[in-house]
Amino acid sequence: MNKTKFEKQKKWHDFALFNFLAQDAENAKEVMSASEGYAVPGIVASDFDSAEDAVARLSELKRASDIVSVGLGGGGAFENFRAVLSIAELDRDCHINQPLETAAFAQLVDGVYANALVRPSGKVGLVKLATRGTIEVERLVDYCLEHQIPSIKLMSIRGTEHLAELVYLAKVASERGIYGIEPAGGIAWDNIVPIMTDVAETGIPFFMPHIFGATVDKVTGRTKKAEIERIFEQLGGIS
């Protein structure tokens, strides 16, 4: 999956899609219905014993959506990058999550759309690496441009706790030519509006919040249609 597929996809306000987990084809259909079609259903690699099992699930989800996603799992655990790449090698038409340190390599897997995951530092203009230390946002963005990484993921933003850091990242990314920004962590119906409105003002072409914890049933593991509808009720108030 290349950037063109995302560019052609119908988006909320011509700007955003929303990533939710899906347990099977039926759950993916519920996700797409509740989100008015503005969703990317996905899986996390840590839920599967083998890449083959994960690819079988992706095939199910593709009955509901042209675009599907493969997350790391474990709160964006660095060590899961290999499992995600193994899945991508078998299904090269998917969006995948990778730590910054492996994203450039992942982008070489023909057909995939890989993001580069970094973490908030608590200071606007700096992000944390998975391995160690921090990097300036400008340097991060330039690195991603140099290695043709189309999207940057910031996790965990803890709702709006790190919103200023997210907005700065999106602003710099937009100004320098990065296509997408993808936040995750603590995003829910009660904070989705300020997140969407503040990031939209940066001019970033593509925005995809990953919304898992607030929408997944802790017993069944299925994403709850009602929680997605609740989110979109809030988004309906944005002009």
Smallest CA-to-CA distance from 18 within 110, 117, 95 is with 95
Q: Where are any strands of DSSP class E within 97-239?
A: 113-120, 126-128, 134-136, 151-155, 180-184, 206-207
The CATH T-level fold of domain 16-234 is TIM Barrel (3.20.20)
pTM score of the predicted model: 0.96
Q: Check residue 1 and give its pLDDT.
A: 56
Q: Check residue 115 and give its pLDDT.
A: 97
Render the burial of 17-55: b for 16+ CB within 10 Å, e for the rest.
bbbbbbbebebbbbbbebbeebbbbbbbbbebeebeebb
Each residue's pLDDT expressed in tens, for the chain with a length of 239 residues? 567 888 889 999 999 999 999 999 999 999 999 999 999 999 999 999 999 999 999 999 999 999 999 999 999 999 999 999 999 999 989 999 999 999 999 988 888 899 999 999 999 999 999 888 999 999 999 999 999 999 999 999 999 999 999 999 999 999 999 999 999 999 999 999 999 999 999 999 999 999 999 999 999 999 999 999 999 999 998 86
CA 155 to CA 161: how far, in whole Å?
A: 11
Q: Check residue 110 and give its pLDDT.
A: 81
Q: Check residue 236 and give its pLDDT.
A: 92
Q: Check residue 2 and give its pLDDT.
A: 67
DSSP letter assigned to residue 17: -
Side-chain half-sphere CA neighbours of 89 within 13 A:
10
CA 209 to CA 185: how far, in whole Å?
A: 9
The number of residues making up the chain comes to: 239
How many C-beta atoms lie closer than 10 Å to residue 215's C-beta? 23
CA 142 to CA 144: how far, in whole Å?
A: 5
Domain boundaries, the chain: 16-234
Q: Which two tokens stand for residue 174?
A: 């937009």
